[in-house]
Amino acid sequence: GGRSAEEIVFKFATTGAGDDLRRATEIARRMVMEFGMSEKVGPMNIAETGARFLNPMFRQGNDVSEEAQMVIDREVKSILAEGQNKARKILAEHRDDMDGLAKLLLEKENLSRKDLDDFFGEPSVDDVDGEEPTRTDEVLGSEMPQIQQQN
């Protein structure tokens, strides 16, 4: 969202938005490789060899064919493009709010929950999804595990 906001306002993204892109790429790659959230790759976990804490450039690689890696890369790009398009659309639709928040941030530097409630108005359940919230026990019924209090 931050990168897209900069592109809308400044017509380019600053280096500060680079971290947004890095983090989004990392999440998208995990969606595809670890969480099975890609129709083309399927519901599988493709474990990477090498330490997870190392920069991806220096990982030892993984046990994935070059062809499979190309599919993974295309899926990651697709997820990123879809997310960026969605962010741009939402920000364009709410440009006045974005500009108003930016102005408020310039005035106050830090915004509290109260500041946000004052700016946007009190949120309601209808603002979230238009439906009443469903209690977990209503969905799970008797399948819901009971937590026993220990004394």
Q: Is the pLDDT of residue 27 over 90?
A: yes
Q: Is residue 87 part of a domain?
A: yes
Q: Is residue 41 part of a domain?
A: yes
Q: Is residue 151 part of a domain?
A: no
Q: Is the pLDDT of residue 123 over 90?
A: no
Q: What is the CATH number of the domain that holds 58?
A: 1.20.58.760
% of the chain surpassing 70 pLDDT: 70
Q: Please, what's the largest Cα pairwise distance for the chain?
A: 61
Number of domains in the chain: 1
Closest CA to 41 of 50, 49, 30, 33: 33
3-state class (DSSP) for residue 40? coil
Q: Is residue 9 part of a domain?
A: yes
Q: Is residue 100 part of a domain?
A: yes
Q: What is the mean pLDDT of residues 66-88?
A: 93
Q: Give the residue with greater pLDDT, 10 vs 40.
A: 40
% of the chain surpassing 90 pLDDT: 29
Q: Is residue 148 part of a domain?
A: no
Q: Is the pLDDT of residue 150 over 50?
A: yes
Q: Is the pLDDT of residue 49 over 60?
A: no
Q: Is the pLDDT of residue 76 over 50?
A: yes
Q: What is the mean pLDDT of residues 55-78?
A: 77
Q: Is residue 150 part of a domain?
A: no
Task: Output the pTM of the full model.
Answer: 0.64
Q: Is residue 138 part of a domain?
A: yes
Q: How far apart are CA 148 and CA 146, in angstroms?
A: 6
Distance of CA 128 to the CA centre of its chain: 17
Q: What is the mean pLDDT of residues 109-131?
A: 75
| Residue range(s) defining the domain that contains residue 91 | 2-143
